Amino acid sequence: MQLKNKDLLGIEQLSIDEILSIIETARSFQEVATRTVKKVPTLRGKTVINLFFESSTRTRTSFEIAGKRLSADVINISQSGSAVEKGESLLDTAKNLEAMGPDIIVCRHKASGAPHILAKHLKSSVINAGDGAHEHPTQALLDMMTILDYKKKIEGLKVAIVGDIAHSRVARSNIIALKKIGAKVTVVGPCSMIPKEVEKLGVKVSHDLCSGIENTDVIMMLRIQKERLGLTPFPTLREYARLYGLNLAKLKSAKKDVTIMHPGPVNRGVEIDPEVADGPYSVILDQVANGVAIRMAVLYLLSGENPGRGVL
């Protein structure tokens, strides 16, 4: 299987078949993590540049591990220490890096659309690792994989996404993926954190946590995106935590076998209590583990490496 486009810029561009094929390919790579020597030669001779111009722990590390487990040469570049600090533009930086012959450039940037500009001007494949408040496609893919692990299906599930929907690329990518596959999505949060006309994406809106998560199969909690806020959207964090923080008492509104997700980083005691984040319904660390397999699959499928043969 090959992806239709040379780049992965958003969930929007993927068909349901492509989403499910990426997850299936990721499952075939999961076994590599259980080996004593966690490495396969699949991308030997390929070069991946991770261009992270915004902070990241999970995405950056998992793209690096994914590339290395596939035997690609992986180079990491962050804004600090790069020539961007001397005034070079993102596009000039990327064109100069491309002159060194990478196969894939992974880009995280605070500006929505930054990876799209690179994709338009570069021959290398570009993967969006999170652009501003726009999209975070590999997060949504690993989230779909995790939901399938626990619920065996996505179609028909009731999913609540809670928190700062307006500034969250994770929310946007997940809404698009969930709706494509046929889940029923409710977004929950204060008015200041719900984008205008979000209903056009096919979701319901609730401003009350307990009714918004009533009878849900899956709850995705989001942190407040302080780095993307102009004005403070809420009087105090304490007030926000009281109304929208998920604790054991509020969790009783959801189904008994509810699955709790969070893309991280978690602000314990704000959007989620430690008893919930570390409790029996939480799959937060499974999401992180699946992130490596999903990024291996995406690197492999975009690398142009002999799509007809087995992946290992």
Contacting positions for ligand CP (CB under 6 A): 56-60, 130, 136, 139, 263-265
Residue 243, classified by CB atoms within 10 Å of its CB into exposed (0-12), middle (13-18) or buried (19+), is middle
Smaller CB separation from ligand CP, 56 or 112:
56
User: Buried b / exposed e across 189-227, counting CB within 10 Å, b at 16+?
Assistant: bbeebbbeebeeeebeebeebeebbbebbbbbbbbbbee
Smaller CB separation from ligand CP, 47 or 139:
139
Smallest gap from Cβ 96 to ligand CP, in A, equals: 25
Contact in structure between 198 and 164 (CB atoms under 8 Å): no
Smaller CB separation from ligand CP, 60 or 69:
60
Smaller CB separation from ligand CP, 175 or 311:
175
Task: Give the separation between CA 247 and CA 262, rounded to whole angstroms.
Answer: 14
Question: Under the phi-then-psi rule, with left for phi > 0, alpha for psi from -120 to 50, and beta for the rest, what region is 285?
Answer: alpha
Contact in structure between 108 and 54 (CB atoms under 8 Å): yes
Smallest gap from Cβ 60 to ligand CP, in A, equals: 6
Smaller CB separation from ligand CP, 265 or 307:
265
Smallest gap from Cβ 206 to ligand CP, in A, equals: 24
Smallest gap from Cβ 108 to ligand CP, in A, equals: 7
Smallest gap from Cβ 139 to ligand CP, in A, equals: 5
Closest among 21, 103, 72 to 307, alpha carbons compared:
21
Smaller CB separation from ligand CP, 42 or 173:
173
266 SS3 class: coil
Smallest gap from Cβ 160 to ligand CP, in A, equals: 18
